[in-house]
Amino acid sequence: MEKFIGLVGTNSDNSTNRKLLQFMEKYFADKAQIEIIEIKDLPIFNKPEDKQIPEQVQLIADKIDAASGVIISTPEYDHAVPASLINALNWLSYGIFPFVDKAVMITGASYGTLGSSRAQLHLRQILDSPELKARIMPSSEFLLSHSLQAFDEEGRLNNGEHIEKLEGLFEDFLTFVKITNQLNHAHSINKKEAENFSWEEI
C-alpha cells in the first residue's frame, strides 16, 4: 500500500482544507495510508547563513522523502496560496530537497465559488521552481467551493458528485505515482541541480 503525506496548506485552526485531507485519509484508507502534516508551528523562514534547518522542518522533509507522494490542500488568499504555505516550501527547499521528482497532487477548498483555482495555479508555479522540482499531476484540479457547507457533522463530503470526482482523481494519482516512480533515471542529476542552483549566479 502506498504511503502519502497530506500537507495542510494553511495555519488556520479551522480550515476546510484540513477537513478535506481528513476525509481523504479515512475514505481512501483501503487504497493508501495518508499521514496528515501540519505547517502552522513552523518558524518564519529567515534564510539562515549556517543553513541550519529547524527540527520540525527536517522531520517533515524526512517524512516526504519516505513517502510515495504528497497531497497538498490549499486555500486561496488574494489570488494566491497562504503565506504559511510559501513559508513551509521555502524551508523545504533550503539545503534540503525532498520535493525533487516527488509526485504531488493538489487539492483546494474555499468558502467562495472558485474553490481555490488561482491558488492552485500559483502553487503549481512554486512547485515547478528550480529549488523544488516536484512532479505535479497534470489536469487534476479538485476545487471544493462553498466549503463551509461541503461537510456533514461527521466530516464527510455531502455532495455525491464531489466524492465521485475525488475518487477518480485519487485513482489517477495512484497511477501517476507508479509512473513517476519509474521516471527516476535523472533523479540524482535533478537533485544535484536543485542543490547547486543559485539566483545570484544567473
Q: Which domain holds residue 45?
A: 2-201
Residue 101 has pLDDT above 60, yes or no: yes
Segment 126-147 mean pLDDT: 91
CA distance 7 to 104: 10
Per the confidence metrics, is the pTM higher than 0.85?
Answer: yes
Task: Give yes or no for residue 139 having a pLDDT over 90.
Answer: no
**Residues of the chain above pLDDT 70, percent:** 98
Give the three-class secondary structure for 172: helix
| CATH code, domain with 91 | 3.40.50.360
Q: Which residue has the cell 495512484?
A: 174
pLDDT for residue 192? 87
The count of domains in the chain is 1
For 8-31, write each residue's pLDDT tens digit: 999 999 899 999 999 999 999 999
